[in-house]
Amino acid sequence: MQAMDSKKTVVLGVTGGIAAYKAAELARLLVRNGFNVIVVMTMNARKFVQPLTFEVLTANKVVTDMFERDLPASSSMPHIDLARQTRLLLIAPASANIIAKINAGIADDMLSTLCLSYTGPRLIAPAMNTEMWLNPVTQRNVDGLKGLGYAFIGPATGGLACGDEGIGRLADPADILKAALDELNARK
C-alpha cells in the first residue's frame, strides 16, 4: 500500500448502481494524474464491481467496512484518520441513497461516516434514473448539500441502463477528473 500524502490523496467513494463500472476508469485517470487514490465502496457498489478491480488500478486496499483492521489508518478510528489525510472527497457514482444520507447526517457505513468527518473539498457525481434525479426529495437533498459547500458535476443526459433517455447518466470520467482538478485548484 502506498504511503498517504494528504496533498495528493483523493478518496473515491463508489456507491451502488450500474455506473459503478465507470468509476474504475475515473480511478485510473486520477492515478495517471499523480493522485494516491483510496477507494471506499458501499455494500451495494460491490454488487456491481469487485474491490479487486480498484485495488489493481490504485495499488491500494479498497475500504469496504469501517471495522476492518488493516485500513490505511494509524489509529482505531480509520474514518477520522482517512478524513485527515485526504485532499478531496469525490463520490462517483453517487446514488440518491448516499445523497440523502449525507444531507440527513446519517453515518451508518464507512462512506457516510467519512462524509461527516471530512471537512475539505467534496465533489459529487450523481447517477440514477431520471425520475429519481428529478424527484423533489432528491432535488431538496442536492440543494441542501450545495448549501453546505458540496460541489456537483452532472448528471448528464442520454441513454440510461433501464432503456430510458433522459438526465441521470454519470458524467464522463474525463469531465469528472476536470471538475476534481478545478475543485482542488479553487481551494488552494
How far apart, in whole angstroms, are the C-alpha atoms of residue 17 and residue 164? 15
100: how many CB neighbours lie within 10 A of its CB?
Answer: 18
Question: Please, how many CA atoms are within 13 Å of residue 140, restricted to the half-sphere of its CB?
Answer: 6
pLDDT at 35: 94
pLDDT at 4: 47
Domain segments of the chain as ranges: 9-186
Q: Model-level pTM?
A: 0.90
Containing 159, the helix (H) or strand (E) segment is strand 156-159
Q: Which residues pair with 9 in a beta bridge?
A: 36
Q: Known catalytic residues?
A: 162
pLDDT at 39: 95
How far apart, in whole angstroms, are the C-alpha atoms of residue 51 and residue 72? 15
In tens digits, the chain (188 residues) has pLDDT values of 344 445 688 999 999 999 999 999 999 999 999 999 999 999 999 999 999 999 999 999 998 887 765 655 555 666 677 767 888 999 999 999 999 999 999 999 999 999 999 999 999 999 999 899 999 999 999 999 999 999 999 898 887 777 788 898 999 999 999 999 998 887 66
Domain covering 9-186 assigned CATH 3.90.550.10 in the classification: no
